[in-house]
Amino acid sequence: MNLRNTLSFERKYTGAHIGIAMFALFLGTLYGPLQALEHAGINLYFLAPWTKSYYHGLTLHGVLNALIFTTFFISGFLTYVVSYSLKRPIAFRWVANLGLILMVVGFVTAAIPLLLNMATVLYTFYPPMKAHSAFYIGVTVLVVGSWVVGLSIFLTLAAWYKDNPGERAPLAAFMSAITFAMWQICTIGAAVELLALLIPWSLGFIDGIDPQFARTLFWYTGHPLVYFWLLPAYMSWYVMVPKLAGGKLFSDPMARLSFLLFLIFSTPTGFHHQFTDPGIAAGWKLIHSVLTFSVFFPSLLTMFNMWASLNIAGKMRDGTGYVAWIAKLPWGKPELTAQLLAAILFLFGGIGGIINASYNINLVIHNTAWVSGHFHTTVGSAVALTFIGTLYWLLPHLTGKGLFSKKAALAQVWTWFVGMIIFSRGMHLLGLLGAPRRTQMGVAIKSEIFFNPDWNVPMIWVGVGGTILLISYILIYVNVVGTLVAGRKLSDEEIPDVPLADAVSRPEQGPMILSRWKPWLATATGLIILSYGPMIIQSIYNYQATSPGFQPW
């Protein structure tokens, strides 16, 4: 009996996660083009009449896209990949179900104040801006739910280890578990911020809060959060893209090495979001800057391995030369093309990321529109477009229904690519010209001091890019809804399999340490203690609970 049929619970479970994720993206991403066009001077907010202000919409955009869509998609996708690559069902269904239920309860609890404009604090919820307590409680329950999903993944993997003593876990399962291990380590910061500071404060148990310390706790989680988004995309680029391209993964041991390096280097880097914060000593910022440069290294490994794997696929399809083989890749498959274009956009994201992480150079771009330009090539493309590409095989796989329109999917993928290049180029440029981020630009420029005539042209880039992205966004849902409602029922042979590539360099060729857990977890913990410990102790010592809450929206 084929594996897919034995995993019918897992398919439903993952389907539920993905369904919620796509619902969140539907509402969240609607605001993207609205914001972009607002910057270009065109107000389309009548399309979302429940939106009370630009910032209400921006909060929904950030929370629904960056927190809800990602967390649900990743939880569902990785749970399935683990079961499929280990060829075994979820170890404890009740644990998995508990995780999902907590996540849904958390999402709904947070969504109510969000929609009612009672939590218009943006997705970073910096105090002393104070949201309704239901928002903080909801976010906390959502995170706890994702921990339980992670636990369910660990339990499934542990059951596999028990049946296969001394063996190396298949790459896809190994990477998924690393992603969740990193997530469990790094969410401690936000959990402490929410449980010890924000929730008691919003419920009125404590009067004041220390905003600087809250920021430090937030960014302890905030940077690895971006790796929580990115690693599942990398997993797909390593394990699935080579298969979709008709080739093999170049090196399995090197893929493992890169993920283990992400595990240890993702977290001790948070101060690179706080270079301009007044309350942290420059020396600590420099240390985190160096550590951030270290975390680029596994991304360079990823780039090499991915290029080499695609090269194998290209040559197997009679491609030649140093670059000409690229044309031979099966670009007609939207599920592949989406991920290739996502990876190309990520090159820009990575280069921009080095600039952001560059200590004093950060003074040029911190909190300008540049930053928004940057993360739309990373989470908004490398991650989101990879996930949408994944959907193009996963949806038929889960539902047994054929993709509604391959042409629409290809058009979607290319319009996202082109739209994002134009949009993001405009935002980067605006930032360099001194335009702030998180700002209702269309109104701001009406004040005389605020306006810089050089902004006119990049504003048009932003508007044009946003319009193209609006088309792309609609095309996503044409296919999602079309497939569910009118997708052709596939026969068993037609249903796409989960694309898991073999590797040229086999896992056994690498040293055993690349498949162990303890040394890497210990190193990760040690680095965090060294890079954060003294600063946290000092912050507690200097803690001043002076800030009351404000609701200036």
Partner 1 sequence: MTTPHEMHPDEWIDPYEKIMMVLGVLMLTGMMGTLLVAAFAFGIQVPSPEKQVNPNTISEQGPFSEPGLRDLGGGKYEAYIIGQIWSWNPREIRVPAGSTVTFFITSKDVQHGFLLWHKNLNAQIVPGQVSKYTITFDEPGEYPYLCHEYCGIGHHTMSGVVIVE
The residues assigned a catalytic role are 223, 227, 374-376, 437-438
DSSP string spanning 62-76?
Answer: HIIIIIIIHHHHHHH
Nearest-angstrom CA–CA distance, 239 and 258 = 13
Please state the closest distance from residue 440 (CB atom) to partner 1, in A: 4
Q: Which of 280, 462, 475, 501 binds partner 1 (CB under 8 A)?
A: 280
Please identify, using beta-carbon distances, which residue of 101 and 363 lies nearer to partner 1: 363
248 near Cu ion, rule: CB under 5 A:
no
Q: Which residues pair with 550 in a beta bridge?
A: 129
Chain residues 432-471 in contact with ligand HEM, contact rule CB under 6 A:
437-439, 466, 469
Nearest-angstrom CA–CA distance, 249 and 513 = 20
Q: Which of 366, 406, 474, 536 binds partner 1 (CB under 8 A)?
A: 366
428 near Cu ion, rule: CB under 5 A:
no
For 504, the enclosing helix (H) or strand (E) is: strand 503-505
62 near ligand HEM, rule: CB under 6 A:
yes
Please identify, using beta-carbon distances, which residue of 29 and 289 lies nearer to partner 1: 289
Stretch that binds partner 1, among 235-243, 272-280, 405-413, 468-476 (CB under 8 A): 272-280
Tell me which residue has tokens 């993360």.
375
**Alpha helix (H) residue ranges in 487-552:** 518-541
Cβ contacts of 110 within 8 Å, gap of 6 or more: 63, 119, 134, 135, 137, 138, 139, 142
61 near ligand HEM, rule: CB under 6 A:
yes
Cα 338 from chain centroid (whole Å): 16
210 near partner 1, rule: CB under 8 A:
yes
Please identify, using beta-carbon distances, which residue of 450 and 517 lies nearer to Cu ion: 450
Please state the closest distance from residue 171 (CB atom) to partner 1, in A: 14
8 near partner 1, rule: CB under 8 A:
no
Q: Which residues pair with 251 in a beta bridge?
A: 505
Structure tokens at 89: 């069902």
Nearest-angstrom CA–CA distance, 185 and 532 = 13
297 near partner 1, rule: CB under 8 A:
yes
Binding mask 398-427 for ligand HEM (x = CB under 6 A): -------------------------x----
Report the sign of the C-alpha dihedral through residues 448, 452, 456, 461, in that order.
negative
Cβ contacts of 239 within 8 Å, gap of 6 or more: 85, 171, 172, 175, 249, 255, 499, 500, 501
Q: Which of 56, 130, 168, 223 binds Cu ion (CB under 5 A)?
A: 223
Structure tokens at 362: 């950060």
Please identify, using beta-carbon distances, which residue of 319 and 396 lies nearer to partner 1: 319
Please state the closest distance from residue 97 (CB atom) to ligand HEM, in A: 26
Which of Cu ion, ligand HEM, partner 1, none does residue 161 bind to, with CB < 5 to 8 Å depending on kind? none
Q: Which residue is nearest to ligand HEM (CB)?
A: 32
Please state the closest distance from residue 297 (CB atom) to partner 1, in A: 6
What's the DSSP call for residue 512?
G
* C-alpha radius of gyration, the chain, whole number: 23
Q: Check if the beta carbon of residue 357 is closer than 8 Å to that of residue 208.
A: no
Please identify, using beta-carbon distances, which residue of 13 and 370 lies nearer to partner 1: 370
Which residues in this chain contact ligand HEM in the complex, by CB under 6 A? 29, 32-33, 35-36, 39, 58, 61-62, 65-66, 69, 122-123, 372, 376, 379-380, 384, 423, 437-439, 466, 469, 473
